[in-house]
Structures are given as structure tokens and as C-alpha cells.
Amino acid sequence: MSLSLSNTSAREWFSRTKESVKPWGDFLNTKRMGVPKSVSPLPKRVVKNVEHFQGNYLFVFMGLVLFCVLTSPMLLVAIAACLGACYLISLKNQDRKITVLGKH
């Protein structure tokens, strides 16, 4: 897979994340999943899980985005409209700060 990223740090992050993909058997192992005895360790467990399986979550996210775009072509129109609106707003406000509801 060839990817051309102009930002060096983004390129390095993507290559590190790609290399950190854990085996899919470990990622999908339901025997290691369990309900915590209390709610207090839950945030720490979630953060640790996301850090450990970050590459796997990235590929799942990219797969879901691809699935959504393929099954709903109107999504491409909505994405293009949002990007176009952002571009027009940035052109209109190049010389001043953007104000939303009276805040900069």
C-alpha cells in the first residue's frame, strides 16, 4: 500500500501505527473481555486498551468509513458540501478571525 503524506510527523505516526497492529486473534479474543467489579478502573482500562490496539482500531475505523461511503453515495455529496463550505468560510475570513455566536 502506497501512501503519500506531505507532513513528516503524520507519515511517521501512520507507519508506527501500521507496525503496531496486533494479531487479529488477540484483538477479537472475547475470553479476555470481562466486566469490571466496579466502575472506577473502567477509564484506565479503556485508555490502556486503545493504546495497546491503536493500529487495529485505525483499520476498523477505515473499514467502517469505506463501508459507509460505498453503501451511501450521498455521503460523498454531504462530505463534499461540508468541505466546500469550510473552504468558502476560510476564504471569506482570511483577513479576520471567525466569530461564532459572538466568540472568537
Q: pLDDT tens digits, residue range 52-61?
A: 898 899 889 9
Instruction: Calculate ∠ Cα 37-26-35, nearest 5°.
Output: 10
pTM: 0.59
Residue 82 or 5, more confident: 82
The domain segmentation of the chain, as residue ranges, is: 9-26+42-92
Indicate the DSSP class of residue 38.
S
How confident is the model over 10-40, as pLDDT tens digits?
A: 788 778 888 888 888 888 888 888 888 888 8
How much of the chain is in helix, strand and coil states, percent to nearest 5? 65, 0, 35
Task: Note whether 92 and 84 are within 8 A (CB).
Answer: no
Q: Where is mean pLDDT largest: 9-13, 77-81, 88-92?
A: 77-81
pLDDT confidence bin for 1, thresholds 50/70/90:
very low
